Chain A
Amino acid sequence: MATGETFPLDPPRPRALPVPPPIGETAMARRLLVAAAVLFLALILALPLAGVFTEGLRKGWGAWLAAFADPDARAAIRLTLLVAAISVPANLVFGVAAAWAITRFSFPGRNLLVTLIDLPFSVSPVVSGLVFVLLFGANGLVGPFLKAQGIQVIFAVPGLVLATIFVTFPFVARELIPIMQAQGAADEEAALTLGASGWTIFTRVTLPNIKWGLLYGVLLCNARAMGEFGAVSVVSGHIRGLTNTVPLQVEILYNEYDFVGAFAIASALAVLALVTLVLKTFLEWRYGDELARSARH
């Protein structure tokens, strides 16, 4: 039934007036803040990083490659890989064990343990190194005894490994504790009531639940293990070709005015850092919900 009236289907809407955002600043202030952040990052991070590569490549690829042909440099790389190959798996095991103990049991001293795990982050690496010298040095607490057994800790591979483990201990544990806390013990309890053994529960339930967090922690742990300078410097003794890790080798070359050599090797460490960063970003992007897991299943 026609009424004779027509209604426009889409009445013209009044134009939106420029409204300031409910929270925050004007466009001008926003642009200024972003520009400041970008400038800061460029100055503090991007520029030095670019500097490392340009300095390392200043005399061309030949000189860059030659820096890696040096026997001392090769020994340093081998040593760094060896130290990382021992300390990262060790911290993986310790980290999982510590996170398990802290999140699954309540025992006296639990909070103290949580605090102790953070200790390597809060103490200066030089102090960490000195602690090991105090313990294992020639005049240390157990050093003379071990020396009598023919075991050299300080100024040798065991000392480097110990210092690296100490400094990188928190990475795995700190990543796992919040994940395991948020997940709770229900999955493991369910597996237990279904008759699974402890090892089966660990490999088939716990490990799959924490694998991305574990990988993330291992990645950061490895980056730090290979790049650690302070603590390792104290216990190393700087014996060329024997106890110099890559960061120490870089310092030696630099102090000898071999800039190309120093920056060439430093660029290898920088590449390692960039690869770590990319992998880390990928993990956060792909498995972000499992890394900072909320209680949802």
Chain B
Amino acid sequence: MDIRIRGLAKDFGDFPALHGLDLDIRSGELLALLGPSGSGKTTLLRVLAGLEQPSAGRVLFGEEDASATPVRERRVGFVFQHYALFRHMTVAENIAFGLTSRRKSERPSRAEIARRVADLLDLVQLPTLAKRYPSQLSGGQRQRVALARALAVEPRVLFLDEPFGALDAQVRKDLRKWLRDIHDRTGYTTVFVTHDQDEALELADRVVVLNKGRIEQIGTPDEIYDAPASPFVFDFIGDASRIPVTVEHGRVAIGGRRLDLGVDLAGAGAATLFVRPQHWRLGETGLAGTVGATRRHGTARRVDLTLDGAGPVEIDLAPEITVAAGDRLTLTPARWRIFFEDGRSIGGSLDAAPGTTRAFG
């Protein structure tokens, strides 16, 4: 089931939560809606599911205009952040709810319902917990039951609202793999909301980055990470330092010092250079700076460096390289992207081929 969103807007009173979004969700894909809180990602999901009415625009499920279909008839599976399991029902009763609450003429037989529940419990790897109550389950188990319950009615698409948001780090990681596995086995078109960039990049086929009710970028995890379309995306996905620069005659200057990026830039004026901490290279030439604080950061050593004439940046060094506060370093950005004030951007990499710089985007 592919979903097309056209000019979708949603206001809460005077507050515009979504500003006329266009988005195509492909059949069978696993799509992440990623953004900070207040970006409108949950609102978008709830509008898609029919739990909120859009103020303007249309949602098409295939060829059918879903905007006119009430939630009950939309056949969507929705998984809530806090599970929303029915606490007075057993796991099996929860999963069967969508089937047992159907009118008699449409309800499968008891045996059929029991078989479906057993199958789903197998799918979510909880075959022995049918008789338990939600309060007797761990958070991860509850979320699995919630997913099984949503799948029981054979929805046309699956929506998950911050599905792992309430779980601790290890369970989150396990459930990510598990969800990816379930998605690959069942093939449901799945849209999930998250504020966790790792979760979005690791799990999704495509990521939609939202900010203040607008789509900043749509792309594969690689595209989002390697070629962020806006300063917001660069900041939000991964770490990055922003360095104010001026561009003149195709050359970049930082605080009055020329920086050779090995490429002629079309454009002139004030701009912002973005570099990720792991994309700096120490060398004999380039920018100079003074080391401030250092700390261990995963597999690297992260250094706060004050660039001469430009201000603070963060760089990652191999942990074997020891530096101390006050040391002087010379370095060049090996991968970078410059955003001009008019929104245009250009990125480049020294790694594309030895001795050459390839500009892209």
Which A residues contact B (CB, under 8 angstroms)? 186-187, 189-197, 200, 204-205, 208-209, 295, 297
Contacts and interface: CB of A to CB of B under 8 A. Distances in A.
Contacts of B78: 189-190, 193
14 contacts: A189-B78, A190-B78, A190-B84, A190-B86, A190-B146, A193-B50, A193-B72, A194-B98, A194-B101, A195-B98, A196-B72, A196-B98, A204-B86, A208-B88
B72 A187 contact: no
A208 B85 CA distance: 13
Contacts of B85: 190, 297
B84 A195 contact: no
A211 to B, nearest CB: 9
The 7 closest A-B pairs by CB, nearest first: A194-B98, A186-B84, A196-B101, A190-B84, A193-B78, A208-B88, A200-B101
A195 B101 contact: yes
A297 B102 CA distance: 26
A205 B83 CA distance: 14
Nearest to B79: A190
Interface string B73-88: 1111110101111111
A196 B87 CA distance: 17
A194 B74 CA distance: 9
B153 A194 contact: yes
B51 interface: yes
A225 to B, nearest CB: 29
A297 B153 contact: no
Interface in B280-322: none
Contacts of A205: 86
Given A186-B82, A297-B83, A297-B85, A193 B71 contact: yes
B61 interface: no
B225 interface: no
Contacts of B83: 297
Contacts of A186: 80, 82, 84
A212 to B, nearest CB: 11
Interface of B: 49-51, 71-78, 80, 82-88, 97-98, 101-102, 134-135, 146, 149-150, 152-153
A103 to B, nearest CB: 16
A208 B88 CA distance: 7
A297 B135 contact: yes
A197 B80 contact: no
Contacts of B49: 193
A197 B104 CA distance: 13
B101 A197 contact: yes
A289 B51 CA distance: 29
Given A186-B80, A196-B101, A297 B134 contact: yes
Contacts of A195: 72-73, 75, 98, 101-102, 153
Q: Which of A186, A193, A197, A297 has the most CB of B within 10 A?
A: A193
A204 B134 CA distance: 16
A195 B197 CA distance: 33
A195 B49 CA distance: 12
Nearest to A290: B87
A232 B238 CA distance: 70
Given A189-B51, A191-B101, A209 B88 contact: yes
Nearest to A297: B87
Contacts of A197: 72, 101
A205 to B, nearest CB: 6
A196 B149 CA distance: 13
A193 B134 contact: no
B47 to A, nearest CB: 13
Contact of A193 (B77, B82, B102): B77
Contacts of B51: 189, 192-193
Given A190-B78, A297-B134, 13 more contacts: A190-B85, A190-B86, A191-B86, A192-B51, A194-B101, A194-B153, A195-B102, A195-B153, A196-B97, A200-B101, A209-B88, A295-B82, A297-B135
A289 to B, nearest CB: 10
A295 B80 CA distance: 14
Given A208-B86, A208-B88, A192 B101 contact: no
Contacts of B75: 195
B167 to A, nearest CB: 14
B76 A191 contact: no
A197 B149 CA distance: 17
A277 B97 CA distance: 37
A187 B88 CA distance: 11
A193 B80 CA distance: 11
A189 B88 contact: no
Nearest to B49: A193
In this complex, the member of A190, A192, A197 whose beta carbon has the largest number of chain B beta carbons within 10 angstroms is A190
B85 to A, nearest CB: 7
| Residue among B84, B87, B146, B150 facing the most chain A CB atoms (10 A cut-off) | B84
